[in-house]
Amino acid sequence: MQKVGVIPGDGIGPEVIKEARRVLDSVTESKSIALEFEEFPLGAGHYLKTGEVLAEETLQRLSRKDAILLGAMGDPRVKPGILEKGVLLRLRFHFDQYVNLRPVKLYEGVPSPLADNHRKIDIQFVRENTEDFYVGLGARVKSGISNTSLSLIRRAYEAKFDVGVDLKDEQELAFQIGVITKHGAKRIMDFAFQLAKKNGIDLVTSVDKANVLTEMYGLWREACEEASARHGIAKEFQYVDAVALHMVRDPERFKLLVAPNLFGDILTDLGAALQGGLGLAPSANINPSGVSMFEPVHGSAPDIAGKGMANPVGAILSSALMLDTLGHKAAADEIESAVKEVLRSGKHRTADMGGKTSTSKMTDEILKHLAHR
């Protein structure tokens, strides 16, 4: 029996998670997969009622799960950042989910912003999730002499930075430190190359800006080269600006992209746009030897919450990613095929795709295709 912690969260989160659960129930029953679900009422409602964002005891309970399925966090009644940082980022950090996996696929029948709508986009996008310019090290210093002590504490390492600045002829300066470690780069590269092997992909494209940020992305490249040799799969290096250009002009050229945190953050949203919008995009925050978390890319979308308009596909595909990661690839493939068939028909589209199909009707159609398999 595998255990799944479910965090429906805020806004459209509970609406799309309800639909993902319907699909999961159907496929696990037909395939005799034993999953046990426990819901955790985290999010704005819980915070406003109790003043608590994420209790230590809840973290402990979640750490005994095999996976977490999450809807969305964020609510206009709560100051931006409290729930996103307090729940989402805390979970990612606590469980050391160092891989952000965002498959970018343009399914037939989905309107894409590209002029040629019949592109065959199918990219495994692997974003490093814990380092780079998102380590939160920085400061603002005023003119004159100042010393700032910063520390980066991770499970696997600890780094202290004492930054002395002597600022002349300027009133104020702000700096931010980016960090790539050998440990961090090696593990993300290993994940990327293993994923390539699993999917029969023979080329990994590494994204960086090594011509300008030579130290950080020099180390990144070394790790990529070593992983390429270790796993026996070819690699290529591309600058982030070139990748952005090619993703729009010639997205078929990429099969698997591995990117540092900041560039990955930006490019994966470009990917979500190419695949038809936020409502369709799934994601996973993975620690291959820990608790991974699966969530649609979209946020809580308060403007459409409670209206039955939300597209459930991102959440449904995230639950398929979860099944795949839990070792149920056939079940995951069945869900993806059912989603593909519904989208290909073009008859059922939620409002974000320019249609009128409701959240639950969209799932009904997916369930029909699942039943026919």
Minimal distance, residue 231 CB to ligand ATP, in Å: 34
Determine whether 265 is an active site residue.
yes
- Write out the binding residues for ligand ATP, residues 246-305 only, by CB under 6 A: 278-279, 298-301, 303-304
Q: Which residues contact 202 (CB under 8 A, 6 or more apart)?
A: 196, 233, 234, 255
Cβ atoms of 298 and 166 closer than 8 Å:
no
Minimal distance, residue 361 CB to ligand ATP, in Å: 13
User: Residue with the closest Cβ to ligand ATP?
Assistant: 299
Query: Which of the residues 269, 340, 361, 364 is marked catalytic?
Result: 269
Cβ atoms of 96 and 131 closer than 8 Å:
no
Q: Which helix (H) or strand (E) holds 27?
A: helix 13-30
Q: Does 9 bind ligand ATP (CB under 6 A)?
A: no
Query: Which of the residues 98, 107, 134, 217 is marked catalytic?
Result: 134
Query: Which of the residues 186, 265, 361, 364 is marked catalytic?
Result: 265
Cβ atoms of 266 and 125 closer than 8 Å:
no
- Write out the binding residues for ligand ATP, residues 84-113 only, by CB under 6 A: none
Of 43 and 184, nearer to ligand ATP (C-beta) is: 43
Question: Which region among 175-183, 206-214, 257-265, 310-318 touches ligand ATP (by CB under 6 A)?
Answer: 310-318
Determine whether 134 is an active site residue.
yes
Angle between helices 240-249 and 261-274 (to 10 degrees): 10
Cβ atoms of 59 and 26 closer than 8 Å:
no
- Write out the binding residues for ligand ATP, residues 149-208 only, by CB under 6 A: none
Q: Does 352 bind ligand ATP (CB under 6 A)?
A: yes
Query: Which of the residues 209, 255, 340, 361 is marked catalytic?
Result: 209
For 322-328, the CB contacts below 8 A with 24+ separation are: 322/4, 322/67, 322/69, 322/284, 322/292, 322/294, 323/24, 323/27, 323/33, 325/67, 325/284, 325/286, 325/292, 325/294, 326/2, 326/35, 326/66, 326/67, 328/31, 328/33
Sequence letter at residue 336:
E
Determine whether 66 is an active site residue.
no
Cβ atoms of 217 and 240 closer than 8 Å:
no
Minimal distance, residue 189 CB to ligand ATP, in Å: 28
Minimal distance, residue 298 CB to ligand ATP, in Å: 3
C-alpha closest to that of 135 among 102, 163, 160, 165: 160
Of 89 and 278, nearer to ligand ATP (C-beta) is: 278
Minimal distance, residue 112 CB to ligand ATP, in Å: 16
Cβ atoms of 74 and 68 closer than 8 Å:
no
Q: How many residues make up the chain in this entry? A: 373
Query: Which of the residues 202, 241, 303, 333 is marked catalytic?
Result: 241
Of 74 and 178, nearer to ligand ATP (C-beta) is: 74
Minimal distance, residue 44 CB to ligand ATP, in Å: 11
Cβ atoms of 180 and 131 closer than 8 Å:
yes
Of 154 and 361, nearer to ligand ATP (C-beta) is: 361
Of 185 and 362, nearer to ligand ATP (C-beta) is: 362
Of 12 and 343, nearer to ligand ATP (C-beta) is: 12
Minimal distance, residue 293 CB to ligand ATP, in Å: 15
- Write out the binding residues for ligand ATP, residues 22-81 only, by CB under 6 A: 74
The distance from CA 280 to its chain's CA centroid, rounded to whole angstroms, is 13
Q: Tell which one of 42, 314, 322, 362 touches ligand ATP (CB under 6 A).
A: 314
Q: Does 311 bind ligand ATP (CB under 6 A)?
A: yes
For 225-232, the CB contacts below 8 A with 24+ separation are: 226/186, 226/189, 227/186, 227/189, 227/190, 227/192, 227/193, 228/193, 228/204, 230/190, 230/193, 231/190, 231/193, 231/194, 231/196, 231/197
Q: Which residues are known catalytic residues?
A: 134, 209, 241, 265, 269
Please report, as ranges, the residues that interact with ligand ATP according to CB under 6 A: 12, 74, 278-279, 298-301, 303-304, 310-311, 314, 350, 352
